[in-house]
Amino acid sequence: MSGTQGWDRARWLWWLALAGGISFMVAVVQRLEGPPIWAWKTTGVAFLALWAAANARGTHGWLIAAALGFGALGDYLIDAVGIMAGAAAFAIGHLIAITFYLRNRRGVLTSSQKLLIFSVAPLALFITYQIVHRAEPTDIIASMVYTGIVAIMAATAWASRFSRYVTGIGAMLFLASDLVLFKSMTPRIGPIVEALPPLSWPQLLVWPLYFGGQALIAWGVVSTLSREAGDR
């Protein structure tokens, strides 16, 4: 089978994912809440996970589908249950993704690529601490640990054999969305920080960065794996 034909199964799931993820900006702007909104929030990444599963041909395909699936679960739990439950689901997804990317390491890395990869986590941790340093010690530790996991995910994605301009950038956008999320939550994390005004720039940027990152990750990985399977 040609590598450019027949590799993409269930493309309709991809389009449903984009429709769900992009349309959710309406809920962000309108500050909508409640169980139907939580379900709406999950549709973007949940359909990405289903699309990845529909195209899975082996262990690697199922790993990326699982990572996306835990992301969708985190989207729901963070609002329906609480931030710690949502973060736990996301962390599991990131650990699966890290395992996946390490199993798909790029053979050769340039010095500049290595510098970027090894600087991602320290820089992300530094930024996070600057945002949450006035919070309670337990919140600081939780924020730093979670940031470390996301940063390692982004670094391993960049070091993987998948396109840096698709999967790599997607993973970096995911990391950026979490840093912006911490900024948007400073009224709840840090009691000394003044409350942000409605629709502040961090609140408006979190969802586009997050969903855009997830969509790029899914497209870069699934298209590569599926084309390779089609060529065999």
Tokens at 18, concatenated: 């984009």
CA distance 3 to 161: 17
**Mean pLDDT in residue range 117-121:** 96
With 70 as the cut, is the pLDDT of residue 186 above it? Answer: no
The model's confidence at residue 146, banded by pLDDT at 50, 70 and 90, is very high
Report the range of poorest mean pLDDT among 26-35, 169-178, 195-204: 195-204
The DSSP symbol for 165 reads I
Q: If you average pLDDT over every residue of the chain, what do you get?
A: 90
Helix 35-54 to helix 11-23 angle (10° resolution) is 150
Q: Give the integer Cα–Cα distance in Å for 169 and 171.
A: 5
Q: Is it the case that residue 189 has pLDDT exceeding 60?
A: no
- 196 DSSP 8-state letter: P
For residues 177-207, one letter each, b for 16 or more C-beta atoms within 10 angstroms of the residue's C-beta and e for the rest, the string is bbbbbbbbbbeebbeebeeeeeeeebbebbb
Pair of tokens at residue 15: 């389009």
Nearest-angstrom CA–CA distance, 51 and 68: 10
Helix, strand, coil % (nearest 5) of the chain? 80, 0, 20
Q: What pLDDT, on a 0 to 100 scale, did the predictor assign at position 199?
A: 60
pLDDT of residue 228: 87
Token readout for 98 is 């890290």
Please give the Cα distance from 175 to 116 (Å, whole number): 14
What is the rounded average pLDDT of the residues 156-185?
Answer: 95
165 φ, ψ (degrees, to nearest 5): -80, -5
Residue range 78-84: mean pLDDT, rounded: 94
* Neighbouring C-beta atoms of residue 34, cutoff 10 Å: 11
> What pLDDT does 201 receive?
77
Mean of pLDDT values over 114-130: 96
pTM over 0.95: no
